[in-house]
Amino acid sequence: MPPDMYGPHIEFREYSFLENPRLPDAVARSRVVLDARGGADAAEAATGAEVVRAEAGASMPELRQLLAQPEAARARVLHLPEATLESLHGSWQTFPPDDLKKFTDRLQAYPTTFCCMDGHPAHVWYNFLADVPHTDRFGREHTPEFKLYRGETREPCL
């Protein structure tokens, strides 16, 4: 993905990479936990991970500043507990306008899986922006009311 259109490269790993026995100990121990609920649980504290605390609903510029702190920036793994994700839901909308466009364009470019539905193999395009009004990759206007579309069709199938 060109960085000028979609933002900087993001290094993704499979969901289970932290459980892989070949994962170097240095990587497994190099963690920072982002806590936006005011209390990383005891299990997180026991790992020895650095904990960076944010206010619930913090803006992206605030989160960027917190995660640029040396103890967070040197970590190889950023852990976002479920409670933190819930309390920061919507924070992505506080990106500066140019960054917000790159971020939403990136989300709309991601397919999520490949399947065979009714004998027609295809990628399943997950709509990451389903809860906010937007225009999807196929030019369809969306409102927060959920509608299921098949491929590039204009009419909902449910």
Residue by residue, DSSP assigns the chain as --HHHH-S------TTGGG-TTS-HHHHH-EEEEE-SS---HHHHHTT-EEEE--TT--HHHHHHHHTSHHHHT-SEEE--HHHHHHTTTGGGGS-HHHHHHHHHHHHH---EEEEETTEEEEE---TTTTS-EE-TTS-EE-SS-----TT-SS---
Give the predicted TM-score (pTM) of the model.
0.67
Dump pLDDT digits (tens) for 18-31: 889 999 999 888 88
Dump pLDDT digits (tens) for 85-132: 888 888 888 999 999 899 888 888 876 665 665 666 666 677 777 778
